[in-house]
Amino acid sequence: MSSRPSDRVRLAVPNKGRIAGPVREILGKSGLHASEGNERRLIAQTRDPQVEILYARPADIPEYVETGVADLGITGLDMVAERGARVAELLDLQVGKARLVVAVPEESPARRAADLGGARVATEFPRLAGAFFAEQGVPVTIVRVGGACEATPHLGIADAIVDLTASGDTLRTHHLREVAEVLATSTRLVGNPTSIEEKADKVEEIRVALESVVRARGQCYLMMNVRRPSLGEVKRVLPGLSGPTVMEVASSEDMVAVHAVVEEERIYRLIPLLKRAGARDILVVPIDRMVR
């Protein structure tokens, strides 16, 4: 692994997997995406000369951050917990949401974790699975697998599994049903405690940049012109994070400009209401970042 200047922050991000795409999108909107031509390198420069990206397996990122190979990392909480990494959680990016669950074949008599005493449990998360059953006081044999966990009960390898599920569709496809939840997970920004202290300003700058993208998700910026007599009705119709902003329009004494941040899912029903209330020249603009 190459060395780096002491003031440079190295951010480890997933090189593949279910959260790699959403993480790339967040980095791009934050302005931290890799410079052109760097996408296939192990270590890539960003548009910020003080920040570089390390592409790594999601499962390895907690260890890289703990040992200081990377100052910061983005990976699932499940990966951090499975590795038992001593890292500081800085931000929930609120993507890659899933649950680590115990599941059994549909025909199994087990209805809860306590019914699995003596069972063989297949999982890619032996640490978390073992700890969960130990806390429940249920003796099981953990069978570590590297993939295709859902197939193991039907192959006679295991009686139950501990695996991630988002919607439950994969479990149903493999004729499995959930009997217990081990952990709720999502994608997190984590940091090396020493790096957080020694590079505090830059680390906070990165955290705020990423947080601004998270805050903006699902929000739109509405701009419209409103005649003064209609302003009260428009303000009653218009929701917003902190109320609408009203500004003078230079070319008209009778008209004001009204701006507001609203939830994207409300736009469809909101536009007709605003028009009936007297708004005109309505413009809807997507928001990439929002800093408070």
Yes or no: domain 98-185 corresponds to CATH 3.40.190.10:
yes
Cα–Cα distance list, 168 to 58, 67, 111, 127, 175 (Å): 22, 35, 17, 23, 11
Domain ranges within the chain, ordered by starting residue = 9-95+186-216, 98-185, 219-286
Domains 9-95+186-216 and 98-185 share a fold: yes
The DSSP code for 36 is T
Architecture of domain 9-95+186-216: 3-Layer(aba) Sandwich (3.40)
Which residue, among 183, 188, 213, has the nearest Cα to 287 in the 3D structure? 213
- Tens digit of pLDDT at every position of the chain (292 positions): 455 566 799 999 999 888 999 999 999 999 988 765 455 678 888 989 999 999 999 999 999 999 999 999 999 999 999 999 999 999 999 999 999 999 999 999 999 999 999 999 999 999 999 999 999 999 999 999 988 899 999 999 999 999 999 989 999 999 999 999 999 999 999 999 999 999 999 999 999 999 999 999 999 999 999 999 999 999 988 876 567 889 888 777 789 999 999 999 999 999 999 999 999 999 999 999 888 7
Quote the pLDDT of residue 9: 97
Which residue, among 125, 102, 105, 106, has the nearest Cα to 114 in the 3D structure? 102
CATH of 219-286, one of 3.40.190.10, 2.60.40.10, 3.50.40.10, 3.30.70.120: 3.30.70.120
